[in-house]
Structure 1
Amino acid sequence: MLRSLYAGISGMKANQVKLDVIGNNIANVGTTSFKGSRVRFQDMVSQSMSQALAPGASQGGINPRQVGLGVQVAGIDTLVGQGGMQPTSRNLDVAMDGEGYLMVAKGKTPLTNADGVGVDPTEHTANAPSGTDLFYTRDGALTLDKEGNLLNSDGLRVLGYAISEVDDKPSLDYDVTKSTTTPPKSPTLNYVNADSTTLKPSGTLIPLVIPEKIFVLGDANAVPPTSDGDVRVKTFSIEKDGVVKAILEGGKVAILGQIAVASFKNPGGLSKVGGNIYQNTSNSGAPIVRTGKNTDKAVPDNSAGYGDMLQGMLEMSNVDLAEQFTDMIIASRAFQAAGKTISTGDEILQDIINLKR
């Protein structure tokens, strides 16, 4: 009788948690790239009234007699399934179609490739320098600041590979000593001609920049010959592999870098920190970074295991409203039933007390 009271209390508490999770899912049905959650229950310890008995010569076996003492929350799982795609026609919007999270950083900005976020060439794990915090997101609603830094909606810098030519003599450059415009206060990036066949990614990740102008080396063999000078960036595009290309005045195309993408052995183990961003935990595993474009053949290439980056689209929430409302009805009725257990136990206690009268 008293056990039923406490079992009812545990049922109300557990279903209250489930209603809280359902309410959060419904509230975020329109949140970009939101991943819904579910609640799982498990029974508490059971009190044994009698132990099991094995069959004997004169009688058969007897099962144990146990009374359950209630319910508890077994886990709250993040459902990492793909959300629907919504076209936006905005060139700074990107959606991951498949596996992968964008990498964003907060804190000290690496000034060169040498002090960027290191990527292990064998394990493909990321190692952030001191003073830099790494986060991960599926929200591809990117923005630019006045210096051209590529950011998420909360101002965290988007990380990626700098792209250069194998001989380290790019035909397009953004050099502080050459450019007549004020360069971004971000890592110095080499911008190379997209027609080059000898491209290679940097070994580290640094914040990407989309500048207003790029310094272009002149071509004496052109007709007519061209001289060195700044060329304005007319527009840019983001390809499926994350390579950012700028179309310059005059028709040349420059590669500005490649957006980095990471995956996890257990994405459900990521911790939500708000703002549509996640942080890895001890159970999610370390981030496994996608290899860059034209990576050296000596380095294992894992790029085939990641999804495509779709420009002009955003991933929507993966919450199914019909399923959430059904779960809400079940949780609400279960909550009421648990409350009824308590009121019924109270009536029985009242009858016992009345026996003395």
Structure 2
Amino acid sequence: MLRSMYAGISGMKGFQTKLDVIGNNIANVNTAGFKKGRVTFQDMMSQMSSGAQGATDTRGGVNPAQIGLGSQMGSIDNIHTQGFRQTTNNPLDFSLEGDGMFVVASDLERTGATDFDPENIISNIDLDESNVSYTRAGNFYLDTNGNIVNSDGLYLMGYAEDGDGGINTNNNSVLKIPETAQSFSVQTNGTVNYIDADGNTQVAGQVALANFSNPAGLQKAGSNLYLNTENAGYTGLSEPETDGVASIVSGSLEMSNVDLASEFTEMITAQRGFQANTRIITTSDEILQELVNLKR
């Protein structure tokens, strides 16, 4: 059989994968915190017809003659560029300006008794033993106990207040707004303040952000969540606006970084590439048909 036919099949498979990724990008064009995917291709091993020859005293060198055997998928990358910011005026909608991710967790494990727990705050969390995920989607809510959670009920993690109005960065805690609070606000450095029943400003804690040297190495887990991997380069938790970590903008959401114009252009390219590979198969089939007809 002709090698061109198998090369055309490999090209069709690659462009099918590309269309799958483009379709997922377009489907999530309005998903908060979504990061688009991108497919890259590689050529496959080439068949050697004749090898290279070096130059001699009487003749120049000869380049190798190789016949390519098609293409293969090289990678599916997640592009973690900044999405545009949409203003919502909801104080529990957080967007990140810069690098970093929110930390959400469930099945919380505690390292021991809490030192400061005036409002039954879940603190001293052992993130290594808890079910931890990461997200850029900042649409959070308050549960019945006043804890800040996401739409799936996962707790937003941060640092606890130290009892003197400061922040204890050694105490991982669930952020909670007391039921007696009249109002609350979140500063750009992640500090959560609230007005108590007496009209005084109190500190509830501080939002903690996870930073990764290679966010493209994170594994998508669905529900706008990412899981840490060995290639993500997790560097630990940090306070917002420190160590190059993002600042938090309350009352807004970071939307998807999908550009519809770019996606439609890529879709046209993938469609034409798929059609061109089908033409290769059709042409190869016509040649084989002519060979079979030689028997007549």
- Provide the TM-score with structure 1 as the length reference: 0.77
> Partners of 2:169 and 2:280 in 1: how far apart?
65
| 1:69 Cα offset (Å) | 0.4
**Structure 2 match to 1:270:** 218
Describe how 1:309-324 pairs up with structure 2 within 5 A: 309-324=248-263
Residue type of the alignment partner of 1:204 = N
The 2-side partners of 1:6 and 1:25 are apart by: 29
Partner AA of 1:279 in structure 2:
L
Aligned residue for 1:303, secondary structure, equals: coil
Q: 1:15-74: CA deviations, max 9, x gaps? A: 000000000000000000110010000000000000011112222111100000000000
**Residue in 1 aligned with 2:119?**
none
Shift of residue 205, structure 1, vs aligned partner: 0.9
Counterpart in 2 of 1:328? 267
Contact 2:109 2:125 (8 Å CA) reproduced: no
State the alpha-carbon separation in 1 of the partners of residues 176 and 217 from structure 2: 31
Paired with 2:114 and 2:175, the residues of 1 have a C-alpha distance of 12
1:256 to 197, 204, 216: 204
CA deviation map 1:111-133 (0-9, x unaligned): 75487345xxxxxxxx523xx11
CA distance 1:83–1:112, change in 2 (3 Å): farther
Change (3 A) 1:4 1:255: same
Deviation for aligned residue 1:202: 4.3
Verify the 8 A CA contact 1:42 1:74 in the aligned structure 2. Answer: yes
After TM superposition, the structure 1 = structure 2 runs for residues 292-303 of structure 1, keeping only pairs within 5 Å, are: 303=242
Is residue 204 of structure 1 aligned with residue 171 of structure 2? Answer: yes
Moved more, 104-113 or 67-76: 104-113
- One-letter amino acid of the structure 2 residue matched with residue 102 of structure 1: F
1:77-96 Cα distance to aligned partner (Å, 9 max, x none): 00000000000011111100
Shift of 1:328: 0.3
The structure with more radius of gyration? 1
Q: Distance in 1 between matches of 2:154 and 2:109?
A: 11
Residues 161-240 of structure 1 correspond to what in structure 2 (within 5 A)? 161-165=159-163, 170=164, 192=165, 199-213=166-180, 233-240=181-188
Equivalent position of 2:280 in the other structure = 341
* 1: CA distance, partners of 2:258 / 2:213: 23
Task: Give the Cα–Cα distance (whole angstroms) in 2 for the partners of residues 112 and 22 of structure 1.
Answer: 49
**What whole-Å deviation, never above 9, does each CA across 1:300-340 have from its counterpart, x for those lacking one?**
xx814111100000001000100000000000000011111
Which segments of 5 or more consecutive residues in structure 2 lack a partner in the other structure? 116-122
- How has the CA–CA distance of structure 1 residues 3 and 113 changed in structure 2, closer, same or farther, with 3 Å as cutoff? farther
Equivalent residues in 2 for 1:88-167, closer than 5 Å: 88-108=88-108, 110=110, 112-113=113-114, 116-118=124-126, 127-129=127-129, 132-165=130-163
CA RMSD of aligned residues (A): 1.7
Task: Give % identity.
Answer: 46
Code of the residue aligned with 2:199 in structure 1: it is: G
Aligned position for 2:227: 279
Mapped partners of 2:124, 2:253: distance in 1: 28
The alpha-carbon deviation at position 250 of structure 1 amounts to 3.2
Aligned match of 2:193: 245
Question: TM-score when scaled to structure 2?
Answer: 0.93
Q: Is the 8 A contact 1:40 1:76 kept in 2?
A: yes
Question: Which amino acid in the other structure matches residue 159 of structure 1?
Answer: M
CA distance in 2, matches of 1:152, 1:112: 26
Distance (whole Å) between structure 1 residues aligned to residue 32 and residue 114 of structure 2: 32
The verdict on how the C-alpha distance between 1:332 and 1:112 changes in structure 2, with shifts beyond 3 A counting, is farther
Could you tell me whether the CA contact under 8 Å between 2:182 and 2:196 is conserved in 1? yes
Residue 209 of structure 1, CA deviation: 1.2
Q: Which residue of 1 aligns with 2:65?
A: 65
Q: SS of the counterpart of 1:206?
A: strand
Amino acid corresponding to residue 252 of structure 1 in structure 2: N
Amino acid corresponding to residue 260 of structure 1 in structure 2: A
Q: Give 1:288 deviation, angstroms.
A: 2.1
What SS class does the counterpart of residue 254 from structure 1 fall into? strand
Displacement after TM superposition at 1:291 (Å): 4.2
How many pairs were matched up?
Answer: 288
* Preserved CA contact (<8 Å) 1:240 1:308: yes
* 8 Å contact kept, 1:49–1:66: yes
**Runs (4+) off by over 6 Å:** none
